[in-house]
Amino acid sequence: MQIRPVIGVPCGLQAPPGRQDRAVSAVPESYVRALESAGAAPLLIPVVRQESTLRMLYRLLDGLLLAGGVDIDPARFGQEPHPKLGKVDALRDWVELSLVPWAWADGLPVLGICRGIQTLNVARGGTLWQDITSQVPGALHHGRVSYTLRAHAVKLEPASRLVTVLGSDKVRVNSLHHQAIQVPGRGLQVVGRSSDGIIEAVEGDGQAWVVGVQWHPEWLWETDRPAERLFEGFVAACTARRAASA
Ligand code: MN
């Protein structure tokens, strides 16, 4: 049997309008497919409400993937809600912002994607632009045009882990976000920006494999080699982590 690292993917709550009683814990299938294809065993973490439950699930993990999704409650980074703030998910915020400090302390590999780079940043005490278009004059259009359109370039720091992982210091990426990192959190290095200065990639400054990207490689990996390499690099780090802790 092929040994696969177990990678936790926290879910969000999705419900029909006004019907919280019919909510489901869910993660877009694209993340599950990308992780499985890259050699991992994805484990969806439901929206749970008790820390002891979350701790037990966390102990199963060789890595943590923070997926895209709704906006993070700005109270989590000390700001009042901006008028253009989108939907929030308080329980998901709690789950993810609990998991990140544990993973950070344990040196567990973490990949944050879109909302996930923002989650990583907020967990480390950073702040967010709540709406790029209204808060950052002159910024490119980062909002959704299509899932797979490579809307803009990202220039990466030559000495970064991400350049090694992606195999290039410049990538063209899709862009489906209206928020971005404002002030980076503790221990996070900015390693990628678009031409307007918006932060598109960060990584941890320690030994652990911690990477956040503002784009969506889970929509690109089937046709885009750098996106595929990002998942492969993450899974390789999780495999090494599993071997080291066995
Ligand atoms: Mn973008």
* SS3 track for the chain: CCCCCEEEEECEEECCCCCHHHCEEECCHHHHHHHHHCCCEEEEECCCCCHHHHHHHHCCCCEEEECCCCECCHHHHCCCCCCCCCCECHHHHHHHHHHHHHHHHHCCCEEEECHHHHHHHHHCCCEEECCHHHHCCCCCCCCCCCCCCCCEEEEECCCCHHHHHHCCCEEEECCCCCCEEEECCCCEEEEEECCCCCEEEEEECCCCCEEEECCCHHHCCCCCHHHHHHHHHHHHHHHHHHHHHC
pLDDT tens digits, residue range 71-90? 999 999 999 999 999 999 99
Ligand 1 centroid to residue 142 C-alpha, Å: 4
Mean pLDDT across the chain, nearest whole number?
Answer: 97
Ligand 1 centroid to residue 16 C-alpha, Å: 29
Ligand 1 centroid to residue 152 C-alpha, Å: 7
Task: Give me the pLDDT at residue 2, please.
Answer: 84
Task: Give me the pLDDT at residue 24, please.
Answer: 96
- So which residues are the catalytic ones? 114, 216, 218
Is the pLDDT at 193 greater than 90, yes or no?
Answer: yes
Ligand 1 centroid to residue 136 C-alpha, Å: 13
pLDDT tens digits, residue range 88-107? 999 999 999 999 999 999 99
Ligand 1 centroid to residue 73 C-alpha, Å: 20
Task: Give me the pLDDT at residue 54, please.
Answer: 98
Task: Give me the pLDDT at residue 210, please.
Answer: 98
Ligand 1 centroid to residue 56 C-alpha, Å: 35
- Which residue ranges form the domains of the chain, and what is each CATH number? 6-245 (3.40.50.880)
Ligand 1 centroid to residue 174 C-alpha, Å: 7
Task: Give me the pLDDT at residue 1, please.
Answer: 82
Ligand 1 centroid to residue 184 C-alpha, Å: 16
Percent of the chain with pLDDT over 90: 96
Ligand 1 centroid to residue 150 C-alpha, Å: 10
pLDDT tens digits, residue range 112-152? 999 999 999 999 999 999 999 999 999 999 998 899 999 99
